[in-house]
Amino acid sequence: MYVKGSGGDVLLKDLIFVVILLIPLTIAGVIDYKRRIIPNYCCLIIGLLGLAGALMMNSADLFFVSISYRIIGILPAVFMIWFVRRKPGSAGGGDIKLMAALGFATGITNLFFVLLPATVFGVIWGKIIVRKFIPLGTFLALGTWVWIGWYYIIIIFR
């Protein structure tokens, strides 16, 4: 089933995936900003969404990437574990779990497009609002919103 746009059609299952992804991710981002903690249930829901996407992979659409790309999408979180061990206090366990779940849900190629705006916003935040911590979960959520918004703008208006 497709949702009609002026420039193209968007699969309804993609829209459902987006909504289910953005709800726990936004909750995690807000809680990380306010309390500096990311709930495990948010990471679990996002990870299960990635598993569901892998099982439904009969489409070449944005979110339906192969299981190998999803597993490779976990690698940035592995790098974060290595980084945190070398520099304690730089990121928390919730940030790592959220990055792994998001990488598994979107795949490595899409995770790059999430990390790009997330990094830009995080650097701007760190330079303008000088705080002791940068809420990575908040910027991962913001980066995902930007990436999904940009993707759908391109599809609808192409």
Does any domain span residue 55? yes
Residue 6's pLDDT is: 46
Residue 7 has pLDDT above 70, yes or no: no
Residue 85's pLDDT is: 73
DSSP 4: E
pLDDT digits (tens, 9 = 90+) for 98-151: 999 999 998 898 899 999 999 999 888 888 887 677 888 999 999 999 998 888
The residue range of the domain holding 75 is 2-152
Does any domain span residue 158? no
On whether the CB atoms of residues 20 and 52 are closer than 8 A, the answer is no
- pTM assigned to the model: 0.83
Does any domain span residue 8? yes
DSSP lists the bridge partners of residue 11 as 2
pLDDT digits (tens, 9 = 90+) for 30-84: 999 999 899 999 999 999 988 888 887 655 455 667 788 888 989 988 888 887 7
If one counts the domains in the chain, the total is 1
